[in-house]
A and B are shown apart, each in its own frame.
Chain A
């Protein structure tokens, strides 16, 4: 299909062929995009619009929605102490993820990505939790946290220490969030570690070598070379981690159902409770929209504030 007309002197024919090829190219693009675009419209945009519609009704999920209540559902959500608690818990997970989970992942990436002996072994081990399904993870940790020392491994080990008593863990409203955070960290640090390792591999060895020749010690190498060049990856993981934390559901629902007494409630468990346990589908839709807006606003602000240097840097 190499255009044989190119050898011809006919400028018009050449031009026509060019346009035809352009049109064909565009058609190709459109055809390739169309299936994904249609799926996106049907499965993402349409349900969101539908949720917005239902969120304006007092609707129980059966039959058509008829009881229009305007913005009442939203007023109810924003004035509900339990929802505010859920938002607070979500922000707590975000804060802890950013201050503990990500630095841990980075530290491990620096170790297993570079010079630790047996690093492939550790890499596999560290990544393993991420491969497990969330349901399996939740059930496994539920057993580990079992308050009965004869059934829960953690308590079984704890009672071996003289003077230490078994703890209620997930059954203790004051401890439950910390317990859940441990599970979240265990589950997701491997993913972030992997992202950091990929980022580290993109840093040219020459730059580090040059710095070393200039007399930079290990600490200087890390703070002036490695971390700045890893900036893009760090921003990506911060974004993923924050959004993931705000939308956390499966692990928490299985382990605690948001309990005891809403102590581990997050926005998604709150939404499920009202939508699918109490059958208040309209209210549940409104919660979903509030969640969507919170995540959207966070994304936009984050893109604006943190992501920009990436684009500039790549120019």
Chain B
């Protein structure tokens, strides 16, 4: 009696295996919708879109724009995947290695995008931008669009371009007796001391994520060395061990010596940083134009600190070669994956209309990059920031975006070491230079 059972089970196993190997049964075909006109309905197209705008209002607006587009183009389905920033970065590395990028995805341009472009993972949209005498191209601010170009070809478009600066809590500054925001590095250090004396934590930083603190160092380098210094190091006529890079580390150490950060900052995330600011527990943070939105979203009542929030540009450093108006910043954009359909490109065009830009500016999540978009800018802080950006003669894209990913990672890791006191300013410069030797050839 055992054999039949054995055979039976064998048969079952085999059939399961075979079934698994065979072609998947076709899904029940839908009856073609009755068309009144004899013309063939346009082919169905699915667009995959990954964005990282997790803040409620922003996410809803992207969804609304996608819905509008789908309503106007019934043959198009837009599949949106919303990812948190760090998760997005991790997921991108894997999809890029498998060679299946989404059609439209978040990009900051610069070194990472260039690497994708080099690997042939992106679609060249230069012809689309130049069509009709450059109708689409001419809507953009050229500097912002340039961040998404590599070797003369465009692989994406911006939808936001801003700069990093200090966001501060006016009430806490007043409590510490600070009349107006600092204009020089020395004044900033003085204000930090005043805040500490008043029992207020001066600065929130999410050093577990590394990049929030990295910008402090990058800004100091920019203020001390100016444009020529960084470009020299980038083009290999100079070095990352040149004096401005080392001095920036020393200036940062002056700040670190005052112990200005919230408790446990070395392990904190940017989310922790934004929560501390949004709940009004810390006086300031160095962050980009998205800070108010994230701050509000992370605060206990989702309202943030409202009109108590202020903004001032990174102070000048005495004796530095950099112009006080120079800006470190960057923006957000969408890169176009290599498999993107013409519909996907058309949808990106729809997203970058002035009307879309106005709506984004109205909810305070962007600094517009398309002419006419600034009409939506209502928030006085955002207007201040945009005007400050317009004054910048030299615009430095974030270091961890401007440079190849390996170097960005080395910079982030090393600056964390400086914050923790395990690396000296000289060792920090040397670590970056070592990496530059292999990455910048």
Report which A residues bind B (CB closer than 8 A): 1-2, 28, 31-32, 35, 60-63, 146-148, 151, 166-173, 176, 256-257, 259-261, 273, 276-281
Contact = CB atoms under 8 A, between A and B. Distances in A.
Nearest to A280: B406
A276 B406 CA distance: 10
A147 B267 contact: yes
B264 A147 contact: yes
Most buried by A among B264, B265, B276: B264
A contact face: mostly helix, strand, loop, or mixed: loop
Contacts, number: 104
Nearest to A279: B405
A151 B298 CA distance: 12
A151 B119 CA distance: 44
A62 B115 CA distance: 9
Interface stretch (B92-100, B126-134, B381-389): B92-100
B302 to A, nearest CB: 16
B409 A278 contact: yes
A151 B265 contact: no
7 smallest A-B Cβ distances: which pairs? Answer: A147-B264, A171-B267, A171-B264, A62-B119, A168-B264, A260-B266, A1-B3
Given A2-B1, A62-B121, A277-B409, A260 B416 contact: yes
A176 to B, nearest CB: 7
Given A62-B115, A62-B121, A276 B93 contact: yes
Contacts of A279: 93, 115, 404-406
B352 interface: no
A32 B14 CA distance: 9
Nearest to A258: B413
A140 B121 CA distance: 37
B347 to A, nearest CB: 27
Contacts of A170: 208, 264, 267
B406 A259 contact: no
Interface residues of B, number: 42
Contacts of A31: 10, 13-14
5 contacts: A147-B267, A148-B262, A259-B210, A261-B413, A261-B417
A28 B264 contact: no
Given A151-B275, A259-B208, A260-B420, A172 B264 contact: yes
A187 B345 CA distance: 48
Nearest to B86: A257
A168 B119 contact: no
Interface string B402-428: 001110011001001100101000000
B417 to A, nearest CB: 5
Interface string B255-282: 0000000111111100010011000010
B207 interface: yes
Nearest to B263: A147
A266 to B, nearest CB: 16
